[in-house]
A and B are shown apart, each in its own frame.
Chain A
Amino acid sequence: MTTYIVRRLLWVIVLLFLVSAITFVIFFALPSADPAQLRAGRQPNPQLVEAIRHKLGLDKSLPVQYYRYMKGLVLHFDFGYSYQNNISVKQQIFDRLPATASLAVGAAVVWLVIGISVGTISAIKRRSLFDRVAMGGALVGISAPVYWLGLLSLYLFANDIGKIKIFPGSGSYVPLSEDPTKWFTSLILPWFVLAASFAAFYARLLRGNLIEVMSEDYIRTARAKGLRERRVVLRHGIRSAITPIVTAAGLDIGILLGGAILTESVFNIPGIGRLAYDSIQQSDLPMIQGTVLLGAFFIVMMNLVVDVAYAFIDPRVRYS
């Protein structure tokens, strides 16, 4: 197992190199704004643009620029400085990471709890009223655009613009270290909004899996042993049905850690998603690189985590 993990970690590094190179190529190959141009202002003096270009290192050839970037990254863990406002990319990213992490992890907890419980009950009481309502609701949850759901939740429940004033409104996020209570209450609506489509998907997924699993032979054996039905469902049924859920959850969390742009936008949570979007709009290459690498890192690492977790869940899986 250790050799497996080490091997995978080496691949992670290779992949991140690849990702950074491809990002570089994409940035320069596809039409995007000229960063020196943008920085120079509205009516720039051509020499000013050149001076800025030189300052940002954009007058060097692509391979040289890439080399310099990677050198800074590998040797000093330096992600460079934003073309926009010259702030350290590393600082901006790590500054905003807790917000995104709070959002992603919290939403994951919500969707797993809801998805698994609803999926289980639906599977057990198949075709009952609960099942039909739940699965219908799930379809809505999956189809509803996150942005619209966000707006709807604010218009209903935000304590500034909502009909029923319960939860803090958009823009009220504070870091956990600053005020734990406010941090928590300001994230409740975003968690549920972000979790909605996932919960729906996971409920359907678990329901399907559980129905399949419950027709397996070992379930019949469990019942034949005289176990209580609750134990059969939970210890035998869900134990098996949960494995695809674990994989999916790991990957989804990995992706969300790279930023949930729409949710962050509508609730004004200063996370990585917004940062990534803005940096693309402004052709801020160092920031784009930073956010892309971070996103890639999380996805790849969660992949690894999920694969390793699999070995613990299913004893038949063995890595060499």
Chain B
Amino acid sequence: MQKLRRLMPLAAVAVLALVAAGCGSGGGGSTGGGAGTQSTSGKTGGTVTLLDAAGSVDSLDPGYWYYQTDYEELGQTTQRWLYSWKPKDNVPTPDIAQGPPQISNGGKTLTIKIKSGIKYSPPLQNQTVKAADIKYAMERCFAAPVGNGYAFSYYSGIQGAPSAPTSKVKDISGIQAPDDNTLVLQLKQPVGILANANALGLPCTIPVPKNYAAKFDNKSQSTYGQHQVFTGPYMIEGAGSGTVSKAGYQPAKLISLVRNPSWDKSTDFKPAYFDKIIIKNGSDVTVASRQILSGTSMMSGDYAVPPPAVLKEGLTTKKDQFQISPSGGNRYFSLNTTVKPFDNLNVRRAVAAATNRNALRQTRGGPAVGTVATHFIPPLIPGFDQAGGNAGPGYDFYKNPNGDLKLAASYLKKAGYPSGKYTGPPILAVADNTPPAKQTAEALQQQLKAIGMKLNLREVPHATMYSKFCEVPKANVALCPNLGWGKDFFDAQSMIDPIFNGKNIVPSGNVNTAEANDPKFNSRISAAASITDANKRAETYGQLDKDLTGQVYYVTWLWDNEVNFTSKNVKGVQSAFNGNAWDLTFSSLK
């Protein structure tokens, strides 16, 4: 009996891990996985044009890709990852891997089998992907010449992983490639997001052949991106020579993708219908929206929120050209607990009660742009239901989406303001000066006036807001109205840990803007990282979300929708993993 009991946990873990990763469904998630409501069949052929407003990708280097645009335009189209994401799935699908990671050694060893015969694009068309290439790809993500932004967050649990960026690509002992088809990760302790392959469904696992890339990485700034080899259905036009040329990439102007001659459709789950994909940058959102909706073979790009007139069309006359889905992200404003009066929980609760979340949503365009939030984790991410789903944990200050001024007054009284109104000095708030964020901040300013709270609202450029004010603890900004967070993959750790864990407070680039630092919460959050059981993870994070919401470090007011649209003759398929931006490998012409 005892023996059995001892064995059980291991087996159970193994079985559950298999169940979680292999089937591609359930996994404690709220929505179903692979079985999508929309078919992903399509007509092969044709050229599609994507119109971007801003300057598109930040870098050509797979090791750098981290943002939605990088994934949509290059990450998902030109490269295969160890684990990739099917359009509707909230769990990763083996891509270069043959199957889910095999867990052994108490969860501290992960073994992943690699498919054979996946070829690189010219000029390495005679070379196939080996496990060593993935090893090198992950190692270079720790190097300063590459400058990856998430390796230290997600891969630090690997044995031998550096704790600071290395000046050159260094060998990591915990990443092993015993043979061409086997990749082994040795961990310091069990890591849930590696075991469930979520963190392996990221571009750092895009294979990079060391013998070819080392010379490009051996500089202060790696130039591998301009010389990369491609494994995906598409490649940058003209890059077959080994160098990206103007034909395929003009920074902030144009990206042109053509079919990758080395790609073998039979080894990939992606259909890749289009023959050619053109991405144009610098479009004006108003003009581009019109062009897409009334033209042919075009798709929307990186617009935050389309102009109101366009949104209206999307809900009425042109409904079939629009797709509005949850983005897997939320919007909130922070209450800095190190700055008075937000060190007082009752004051924070009063602010939450006074907030008219419906009105804030209206500044972005109304119900179409998202669901009014009641807690932090957005829909589709495991833990969402466990935190109460749409209705939420049930706190009184979140009960009324239009706000409850009486309740706010009672909280203020509890906080020590007998009149029920805040009587302290004005509060410093730093906002984004571009619409619609600007309008949201100004609306909030108006709303808080009702409880006597005057906001000194400073409106600055988007990037400045983050890097000079809100993400710098020293700046002592009490309230940042225009914050938001999106998942990195379908695991609540990427939502909760960076934002609420006191360990993550840093002098700059600090995303724990409320400076939440309760030791009890910190240990709970850190402990959750090692949970490998999928259900347990969802439970734990859901409970954490409930409890943290009660502390009102942040007032989450929206679960964002992604609004995308196409020309009439385009069948667009969205990628749930990538915030429901288009998946260009599944979209097609009608």
- A: residues with CB less than 8 A from B are 31-34, 37-49, 51-52, 55, 81, 84-87, 92, 95, 151, 154-155, 160-161, 169-171, 264-268, 270, 274-275, 278, 280-283
Contacts and interface: CB of A to CB of B under 8 A. Distances in A.
B58 interface: yes
Given A43-B509, A278-B252, A171 B283 contact: yes
Given A34-B467, A161-B287, A44 B220 contact: no
5 contacts: A40-B149, A55-B144, A169-B291, A267-B284, A278-B252
Q: Which of A34, A43, A45, A264 has the most CB of B within 10 A?
A: A43
A43 B463 CA distance: 14
Contacts of A155: 290
B466 A37 contact: yes
Contacts of B221: 55, 81, 86
B58 A85 contact: yes
B66 interface: yes
Interface string B428-469: 000000000000000000000000000000001111101111
B30 to A, nearest CB: 24
A43 B282 CA distance: 27
B252 A270 contact: yes
Given A42-B66, A161-B295, A85 B59 contact: yes
Given A34-B508, A47-B165, A55-B221, A84 B282 contact: no
A270 B461 contact: no
A154 B289 CA distance: 13
Contacts of A275: 252
Nearest to B509: A44
B22 interface: no
A85 B463 contact: no
B288 interface: yes
B291 A42 contact: no
B165 A33 contact: no
Given A86-B221, A268-B282, A33 B294 contact: no
A171 B498 contact: no
B165 A51 contact: yes
Contact of B288 (A42, A45, A47, A170): A170
B506 interface: yes
Q: Which of B57, B291, B466 has the most CB of A within 10 A?
A: B291
The 3 closest A-B pairs by CB, nearest first: A41-B149, A33-B463, A47-B164
A283 B59 contact: no
Given A85-B251, A171-B283, A268-B280, A160 B509 contact: no
A39 B509 CA distance: 11
B467 A37 contact: yes
Interface string B460-481: 1111101111010000000000
B178 interface: no
Contacts of A31: 460, 464, 468-469
Given A33-B466, A39-B147, A87-B251, A170 B509 contact: no
Given A41-B150, A47-B165, A85-B59, A52 B464 contact: no
Given A151-B286, A171-B280, A34 B291 contact: no
B148 interface: yes
Interface string B320-361: 000000000000000000000000000000000000000000
Contact of B153 (A43, A170, A264): A43
A160 B469 contact: no
A161 B253 contact: no
B415 interface: no
Interface string B277-318: 000101110111011001100000000000000000000000
B498 to A, nearest CB: 5
B464 A32 contact: yes
A230 to B, nearest CB: 45
Given A43-B149, A45-B152, 11 more contacts: A33-B464, A41-B64, A42-B67, A43-B509, A47-B165, A51-B164, A160-B291, A161-B294, A268-B284, A281-B462, A283-B467
Contacts of B167: 51
Given A40-B509, A51-B144, A86-B221, A34 B468 contact: yes
Given A55-B144, A151-B287, A270-B253, A84 B464 contact: no
Contacts of B290: 154-155, 161
B187 interface: no
A85 B55 CA distance: 10
B587 to A, nearest CB: 20
A286 to B, nearest CB: 13
Interface in B127-180: 144, 147-150, 152-153, 163-165, 167
Nearest to A46: B506
A264 B67 CA distance: 26
Interface in B251-289: 251-253, 280, 282-284, 286-288
Q: Which of B57, B64, B282 has the most CB of A within 10 A?
A: B282
A49 B506 CA distance: 11
Contacts of B55: 84-85, 278
Interface string B38-82: 000000000000010011011100001011000000000000000
